[in-house]
Structure 1
Amino acid sequence: MDPNKVVLDPILPLRFVDLKREIAASYPDFEARVTRAWTEVLQQLEETSKAVVAEGSNIIPQVQFEDLRNLRPEQVATIKRRGCVVIKDVVGDAEVAKWKASLDVFVKANPDVPGFPDPDKQFFHLYWTKAQVLARAHPNVLRSSAWINELYHVKEGSNLEGVDLSTPLSYADRFRIRHPGVAWEVHPPHVDGGSIERWEDKVFRSCFDDILNGNWRNHDPYDLEGRINARSSLYGRPGQSSIFRTFQGWLALSPTGPHQGTIKFFPDVLLSNAYLILRPFFHPKPEQTSDDPLDARNWRYDISTPDFPGIYAFYGGFTGPRPNNISHPHLRLDETMTSAPEVNAGDMVFWHCDLVHSVEREHNGSSDCAVMYIPAVPTTPQNTEYIKRQKDTFVQGSTPPDFPKTAPEASYVGIGLPEDIVDAMGKKAMGFDIQVA
């Protein structure tokens, strides 16, 4: 699937009017409560936007891998509010250099591998190169993932059988080797890990109960209970993750930074969640009360339309949220989307599964911006079942379950094999000690 050729349809089915009515009927005094919350969220967005713009990339937290278990509570609180973090020096320079070199060799040795853009491929639909297999199994990568997973918590009294935040699993994803001077249009601001499912699936929706109750400040993006059984892929759309990733992430294979094709964030996951979840229930008034179109007084509660701004019909399912200046103007994305700070090869960047993120359109650096996508995945019953199926595709050298099918990788030169994983933690993360029922 070439993202340059994707056509998104903003016309959503009329049954989504019933979905809005169902949601409104599920919460006491819904209209009054969310209207008050909407006004408060818009006021806070205006203040937060100014702070984000003023701080720039400095607002993105950075920590050393060796310090993860000794961070101060206020550092952890900042990471959780921002919803993103750079972890420095996860993997040594020499090892990362070997992985980057091996990927360059792999791509040259297998010129027909799927990727885009044509003819100068830079984003590769590949999952089982030896470098990717080794990176996912690296003890420090897995320890970083475990630490990230443990930012989540279970409410007191909850009994979530089969959940282990301290034991990470490995989710096979792709890699990119972006070349300087090539503009990308394919990764505008978006949120992964579920589209219309955030509202349509009742379990997923429960993650946002405090927002829909009007108590948006009490929303906890790190409450695990609603996450582990949420159905993030109701329609089986190719490329839609069906597992729960606490954070998405990548491992840098080269130095990169602002204006060099790096990732960008809206660095306040609590606030963006509140706004994104409430947005479908509010529309601009036909006649404006004040001169400022973003003024809360110019917006009204309205559940009469099926539209969920930023959600689009796509390949028999739905994609998004993809907020933009028209659909979500209060995010002020032109100003607030903030580039990750400079990173070196071996550093990792993680971002919360709900966080609005994008990729810089321009790469004005002088060398490749190369990363492997490696998210943080905890052990849960749903995730464990996925890893069993993923393990089979690894052994066969075929496409992992969540992704559009491509030619089997087993025929390529330089593919990774199960015996390449020698560490016990890496084997467990790939499911080689999971017993099939």
Structure 2
Amino acid sequence: MLPNWDTTPADLPKAVREIKKAIRANIEASGRSVEEVFAVVERQIQREVDDVKAGQGWPVIDYADIEAGTAPRDLVRRRGCVVVRGHFPREQALAWDKSIVDYVESNNFFENYRGPGDDFFGSVGSKPEIYPIYWSPAQVEARRHERMATVQQFLNGLWHHDGWFDPARDVGYPDRIRRRPPGTDSGGLGTHLDPGTLDLWMTAEYQQAFRHLFNGTPEQYDPWDAVHRTTGPQYPGTTMCSVFRTFQGWTALSDMAHDQGVLHTIPIPGAMAYLMLRPLLDDVPDDDMCGVTVNQVFPVSRKYHSLLLEALTGIPDVHAGDSVWWHCDMIHSVAPVEDQQGWGNVMYIPAAPWCARNERYAEEIQRAHASGSSPSDFPEEHYERAWPNRG
């Protein structure tokens, strides 16, 4: 039985040493060493990396194929990410983009902007790239749109949910928007992932979710298995969202070329097995999880994860109305850009199906929407509370 911490221990290095010792012992009880188990995963990941480098990166499918039930499910499951062409009509996306500008300008947002409420995203000049706006009519309409529901249900259906979540119902997780203007110089975002931090090793629910990695049977690990992912609390100090997302995603409100500071992923859903086992090897200090800790994102570094980084792949050109999706465990980054050509505008809308964990947060969504507040997963900026034309 692995130890479980529901609250952050006062001596975090000691807790890390204890959980690593317990996981090692659990693996060795299977008759395999940690090194043998990791080697199995490493060989599998090497094959996937080779495939990605050979050109099998981001799948691109048409919304019409999703609607008709003919979209290539196996391809999306293999790569864990997808661009959906024509998710919304181009004219609809451009109209939403314009309406967001009208919404913030009519409420004097830029005159009252106080700077970024957190340092996870940067800012450009005196205006933000990431607008702390959640309740514009465009965002609310897009989240509730039947075409959004169609794509979310398709993506949810790629998972083995078996009662752990309802693939046909989404909680409508509110997130921000990005508007990056032409001429922007942006440093991008470093390579990381968002499902959590130390809770992935130190809570009972995730210990069950990753049970095949921790009991010496990595061949049975399935990154599409929702077992125990949708029920438990997060470990205090995690920096990501409170809900379970099957996929993270955004909807394009402008055309974006593939070389203009766009999203990159490592399109290998099973890479999580590599990340979870890597801290157990002898070259990592006993009180270190390859840099994973509380109050920071989960880092992916060349020091410990160089094999994975060989597969880092950018999205293709996208057009206004397309949407971009990636598995919740997927390693991703945003490339830097100098003198960006054209706008880079998106609405962040994930797939967050109805489940025990998301039901708890749904009450917060209702409260925040009713008052125009920033949702509790985000900095307490609350720009929209007094705006009369909220969605």
- Given the two structures, how large is their TM-score scaled by the length of structure 1? 0.79
Q: Counterpart of 1:411? A: 386
SS of equivalent to 2:191: coil
Q: Which amino acid aligns with 1:307?
A: D
CA 1:49/1:277 → structure 2, altered by over 3 Å: closer, same or farther?
Answer: same
CA distance in 2, matches of 1:344, 1:107: 23
Change (3 A) 1:307 1:359: same
Closer, same or farther: CA 103–125 of 1 in aligned 2, 3 Å: same
Identity of aligned residues (%): 29
Kindly tell me: are residues 257 and 212 of structure 1, through their superposed partners in 2, closer, same or farther at Cα, counting changes over 3 Å?
farther
The corresponding residue for 2:286 is: 305
Give, in angstroms, the shift of residue 415 of structure 1.
2.6
Deviation digits for residues 73-100 of structure 1 (CA, Å, limit 9, x no counterpart): 8x31221121101111111122211110
- Aligned equivalents of 1:125 and 1:31: distance in 2? 51
Q: Calculate the TM-score normalised by the size of structure 2.
A: 0.87
- Cα gap change, 1:364 to 1:59, in 2 (>3 Å): farther
Match of 1:198 in 2: 200
Contact 1:63 1:85 in 2 (8 A): yes
Change (3 A) 1:107 1:310: farther
Q: Do the aligned partners of 2:134 and 2:175 also contact (CA within 8 Å) in 1?
A: yes
8 Å CA contact retained: 2:26, 2:214: no
Does structure 1 conserve the Cα–Cα contact (< 8 Å) formed by 2:67 and 2:150? Answer: no
Task: Report the equivalent of 1:326.
Answer: 303
Shift of 1:192: 0.5
Distance 2:304 2:332 in 1: 16
Q: Are the aligned partners of 2:66 and 2:150 in contact in 1 as well (CA < 8 Å)?
A: no
Q: Which runs of 5+ in 2 are unaligned?
A: 1-10, 117-121
Q: Distance in 2 between matches of 1:67 and 1:45?
A: 30
Q: Distance in 2 between matches of 1:236 and 1:387?
A: 21
1:273 paired residue number: 272
Change in 2 beyond 3 A, CA 1:209/1:70 = farther
Q: 1:186 to 1:258 in 2, by over 3 A?
A: closer
**Higher mean C-alpha deviation, range 145-154 or range 170-179:** 145-154
Structure 2 residue matching 1:283: 3-state secondary structure: coil
Sort the Cα spacing of 1:385 and 1:48 in 2 relative to 1 into closer, same or farther, 3 A: closer
Residue aligning to 1:427: none
1:146 paired to 2:170: no
CA distance in 1: counterparts of 2:377 and 2:74, whole angstroms:
32
Paired residues for 1:159-238 under 5 Å: 160=164, 163-231=165-233, 233-235=234-236, 237=238
User: How far apart are 1:176 and its partner, in Å?
Assistant: 0.4
Deviation string for 1:129-156 (max 9, x for gaps)? 222111111110122112111111245x
| Map of 2:16 onto structure 1 | 16
AA aligned opposite 1:306: D
Aligned to 2:254: 254
Q: Distance in 2 between matches of 1:378 and 1:43?
A: 33
* Alignment equivalent of 2:335, drawn from 360, 369, 374: 360
Aligned match of 1:96 = 93
Instruction: Tell me what 1:263 maps to.
Output: 263
Matched, 1:378 2:350: no
User: For residues 186 and 339 of structure 1, do their structure 2 counterparts lie closer, same or farther at Cα, with a shift above 3 Å needed?
Assistant: closer
The answer (yes or no) to whether the contact 1:122–1:177 under 8 Å persists in 2 is: yes
* Residues in 2 aligned to 1:258 and 1:13: alpha-carbon distance in whole angstroms: 41
Trace 1:28-47 onto structure 2 (pairs within 5 A). 29=29, 32-47=32-47
Q: CA–CA distance in 2 between the matches of 1:37 and 1:152?
A: 25
Q: Measured at CA, do residues 130 and 324 of structure 1 come closer, stay the same or move farther in structure 2, by a change above 3 Å?
A: same
Which SS does the other structure have where 1:14 is aligned? helix
Q: Does 1:136 align with 2:143?
A: yes
CA distance in 1, matches of 2:282, 2:21: 16
The answer to whether the 8 Å contact 1:259/1:364 transfers is no
Contact 1:180 1:366 in 2 (8 A): yes
Instruction: Judge conservation of contact 1:180–1:260 (CA < 8 Å) in 2.
Output: no
Contact between 1:211 and 1:274, CA under 8 Å: does it hold in 2? yes
Would the alpha carbon gap of residues 268 and 199 (structure 1) be closer, same or farther in structure 2, given more than 3 Å must change?
Answer: same
Residue segments in structure 1 that go unaligned for 5+ positions in a row: 1-10, 285-301, 417-437
Residue aligned with 2:190, SS: coil
Cα distance 1:312–1:185, how it changes in 2: closer, same or farther (>3 A)? farther
Matches within 5 A, 1:338-349: 338-349=313-324
- Kept in 1, the 8 Å contact 2:137–2:390? The answer is yes
Shift of 1:328: 1.8
* Residues 261, 337 of structure 2: 8 Å contact kept: yes
2:133 is matched with 126
Distance 1:327 1:278, change over 3 A: same
Of residues 57, 60, 73, the one that matches 1:59 is 57
Note the C-alpha offset of 1:256: 1.2
- The aligned length equals 371
Find the aligned partners of 1:344 and 1:12 in 2 and give their Cα distance: 46
* Matched residue SS, 2:142: helix
Offset, 1:275: 0.7
**How many angstroms does 1:336 deviate by?**
2.0
Distance 1:388 1:189 in 2: 32
Q: Distance in 2 between matches of 1:26 and 1:164?
A: 33
Structure 1 residue 236: Cα displacement: 5.2
Q: Deviations along 1:277-319, whole A, 9 cap, x unmatched? A: 11110133xxxxxxxxxxxxxxxxx7x61100131343xxxx3
